[in-house]
Each structure stands twice: as C-alpha cells, then as structure tokens.
Amino acid sequence: MIELIAHRGYSSRNPENTLASFDDAVNSGFPYIELDVHLSNDSVPIVMHDDSVNRTTNGSGLISELSLEQIKDLDAGSWFDKKFSSEKVPTFEEVLARYKYRAHIFVEIKSDEEYLLKCIKKVWDKSLGDESSKQDDSRSRLPIPGISIISFLPNQILKSKQIFPDAPLHGLLLLSSTTEDVSFCVSNGIEGFLPYIGNLNKEVVELAHQNGLYVGAWGFSSPDEISAAMELNLDGITIDWPELAYSKISSIKEGGKA
C-alpha cells in the first residue's frame, strides 16, 4: 500500500496546519502527517505554511517579526469555517506533545536558516527523550514515532543530515523529475526523492528505486490522479484528502474502475 501522507493534516476538511487538522488525520487512521515550520521572532518553531500569518489567520505580518504571544492571540480557523474559530496557530512542540507516539511527522523546512533546523532538533530531542528509541519497525522505513525532514532547498536537506543523522528520511522536494535529480540525491546521500506528480514518469521512478531511494509525490489536485501514482509504483503520496485516496487505491486493487 502506498503511504498516504496527510498534507498539513486533513486539510480538505479542516483549516490547514492546525491541531484540528492533525487530529482528524491521525484519528481517521492516517498517522503520516506533513507540516511546515517557521521561526517566530523569539525563536519558537511555529507550524504554518506561509512566512506570514495573513492568509490563514485574522492577523497580518511576517512570522519572523511576531512573538509567540502575538501569534497565539490569532484566530487560525475562521478563514476556513466559523466553526473552527477557536483554533490557534500551533507550535511544533505542541504538535509533538500531541502526536509524538502516534504519528510520523514530515517537517517541511521553508527557509534557508540553519538555526531553524537546530531549534526543531532541540524541540524534538526534548519531547522524545529516551523514548525516541521506541519505534514501530513494522512500518517499513518510516517508523512511528518518527520524523522526516523535507525541503525544496538542497542545502537545508544536506544540513539536516548532519543535524538529524538518525532521521529515517531526508527528502528533496522537486518541481522537476529528471535522471539528474536522481543522481543528485544519490551522490549526496539524500534518501527521499519527492517530485511533483505532474512531472513524474516511470523511467525516473524505476531509476530512483534501483538506487534505493524512497519515491514520493505531491501536488495532487484530484483523486483521479491516484491511478497514475499506482502505475508508477510510488512509495508515498502527500494529499489533502487521505480517505478519498485510500478508497481510490482500494478500488484499484480490487479491480474496480480506476
């Protein structure tokens, strides 16, 4: 079965990157969750996709210019639906406290500052402590609890390999999907090859698998694209609607109409 990674949580029916969204994903049986992290101006890792709070809260301004206290005063749910008006912007530490033993967390690094990686590592170590060794090895190469570091920034992935040497996956997000991209990952010891689904082809996927890479894809706009992912033999897909994807995959496997 392809690993279904809940993109910013169950973001098709909850405000993205909120505890409500992550709760929905994990409680619905999808323990692989993806989130994005930025640093507040008082160096607290904040879970939000954009570098500003404008789009997904009732506030405005760059995260890097706002304190944790200011960010915590914001409504992070009403933009999606008024019933989520009580949702707050979570910190990375709050997410770990809630899901650290129940989920594998894909952390997307959005900026090129090495200090962000060090702050994330500090929170991870503090949260897991000695319990970090208790992993569910039955879940292939992505154990629970676990953390994977992903980014579009090659330098951040290379730095993450030094800061998070024991992470099961360091993944390079890509718009392209070429043999040169595969070679870059292989030559730099990057285990995860994560291109945009619209640019993936079977030849490149096979080459990546031959070189031992974990091959995932992102950018799915419809469950109808799941058929292509199945034909490509991908290891994981990042989607907003995990239950729809699961139903589609099950239908394909049962010989139903794709």
Return the C-alpha torsion angle 16, 19, 21, 24, nearest 10: 180
Given the DSSP bridges, would you call strands 45-47 and 32-39 parallel, antiparallel or unpaired? antiparallel
Phi-psi group of 72: left, alpha or beta (phi > 0 → left; psi -120 to 50 → alpha; rest → beta): alpha
Residue 243 has pLDDT above 70, yes or no: yes
Residue 257 has pLDDT above 80, yes or no: no
Return the C-alpha torsion angle 103, 195, 251, 224, nearest 10: 120
Give CA separation, 116 vs 71, 153, 200, in Å.
17, 13, 30
Q: Band of the pLDDT at 140, cuts 50, 70, 90?
A: low
Which position has the token pair 């208790």? Answer: 134
Residue 127 has pLDDT above 90, yes or no: no
Query: What rounded mean pLDDT belongs to the chain?
Result: 93
Tens of pLDDT, residues 195-232: 999 999 999 999 999 999 999 999 999 888 999 899 99
Q: Is the pLDDT higher at 201 or at 128?
A: 201
Residue 131 has pLDDT above 60, yes or no: no
C-alpha angle 14-15-20 in degrees, rounded to nearest 5: 60
Position 136 scores a pLDDT of 53
Stated pTM of the model = 0.93
Q: Band of the pLDDT at 145, cuts 50, 70, 90?
A: confident
Q: Band of the pLDDT at 130, cuts 50, 70, 90?
A: very low
**H helices within 42-178, ranges in order?**
68-72, 92-99, 114-128, 154-163
Q: Band of the pLDDT at 256, cuts 50, 70, 90?
A: low
Q: Band of the pLDDT at 159, cuts 50, 70, 90?
A: very high
Coil, helix or strand at residue 236:
strand
Give the integer Cα–Cα distance in Å for 115 and 123: 12
Tens of pLDDT, residues 64-102: 999 999 999 999 999 999 999 999 999 999 999 999 899
**Is the distance from CB of 64 to CB of 51 less than 8 angstroms?**
yes
Q: Which helix or strand (DSSP H or E) is residue 246 part of?
A: helix 242-253
226 — phi, psi (to 5°)? Answer: -65, -35
Residue 134 has pLDDT above 60, yes or no: no
What average pLDDT does range 1-9 have in this prediction?
94
Residues 6+ away with beta carbon under 8 Å from 68: 40, 42, 44, 46, 91
Position 137 scores a pLDDT of 47
CATH hierarchy code of domain 3-253: 3.20.20.190
Residue 158 CB-density burial (10 A; 0-12 exposed, 13-18 middle, 19+ buried): middle
Domain ranges of the chain: 3-253
